[in-house]
Amino acid sequence: MKRIVKRPSEELGQFELWKSTWQLSKKDLLDNPLLDEQKDKIWEKLSGKDKINIKQALLNEQGFICCYCQQRIELDKKTIIEHFMARATYSELMFDYQNLFVCCDGGDTERQYQNEQKIPKAQRIPQYCGSKKDDKEICINPLDENCETHFSYSFNPNSKEVLIEGLTSEGCDTISTLNLGIAKLKTLRGAEIAGYILDGEDYITAEEAEILLQKITQKRDGKFQPFCAALEHVLKTLVR
């Protein structure tokens, strides 16, 4: 998980425009109990250009990486608007910009294809990220200043995989709830990170790792490096 910094200008711009399309003020939505039963229906009506606008704003904010697993996401159907506190349980937060992120589809598209190909269920990609979380709660919010400190990552030079481990009970619970330790994510992390830390069969030098650390903390062309928090963690082990 990588810390996300919310930009107030996005809420005042894209998100408020999105809500005003339906003539719904934030105050009405949060304070009017008569709207409670209608909020979910209202959310589902928000589609087309309005939903694309808010998804684009969130992607820009997050640097085009999933708020949970950090893999690259784009403005397409495989990118989902995620309510950190589930709208089914916390309807008062349904239209709260601080509660909105974007995440990958958690393998839903791949599983649908595997189902059409009649691949046995045991061999299909398991759910992860928001798809696995569903309406469950996790205690580590990507907005938390220290959210990244709950996790560690280690590169396996033999399998070329990057494993994730919880450093706290909260980190362990989050990994379990979001299924961040599955083989697919270990492989994706490893494929991305190996290209940076390996020079042939050897690791890059501490000096080279230090230079990379300075580069990956910033967005490039508006995008963060996929799995950047994992890459940063692994690079720091090479610098020590």
| pLDDT tens, position by position, 27-61 | 565 566 656 666 666 677 666 777 888 889 899 99
Counting Cα atoms < 13 Å in the Cβ hemisphere of 215 gives 11
**99/44: higher pLDDT:** 99
Read off the pLDDT of each residue in 51-75 and give the average, rounded to a whole number. 93
Q: Where are the beta strands (DSSP E) in the chain?
A: 79-83, 100-104, 151-156, 161-166, 198-199, 202-203
| CA of residue 112 relative to chain centroid, distance | 21
Q: In this structure, how many other beta carbons lie within 10 angstroms of the beta carbon of residue 97?
A: 22
For residues 42-66, b (16+ Cβ closer than 10 Å) or e, as one string?
Answer: ebeebeeebeebbbebbbbbbbbbb
Look-up of token digits 């349904």: 94
Overall pTM > 0.95: no
Query: What is the percent of the chain where pLDDT is above 70?
Result: 85
What pLDDT, on the 0 to 100 scale, is given for residue 172? 97
The Cα–Cα gap between 218 and 215 comes to: 6
Q: In this structure, how many other beta carbons lie within 10 angstroms of the beta carbon of residue 162?
A: 25
3-state SS assignment for residue 237: helix
Q: In this structure, how many other beta carbons lie within 10 angstroms of the beta carbon of residue 34?
A: 7
Rg of the chain (C-alpha set): 19
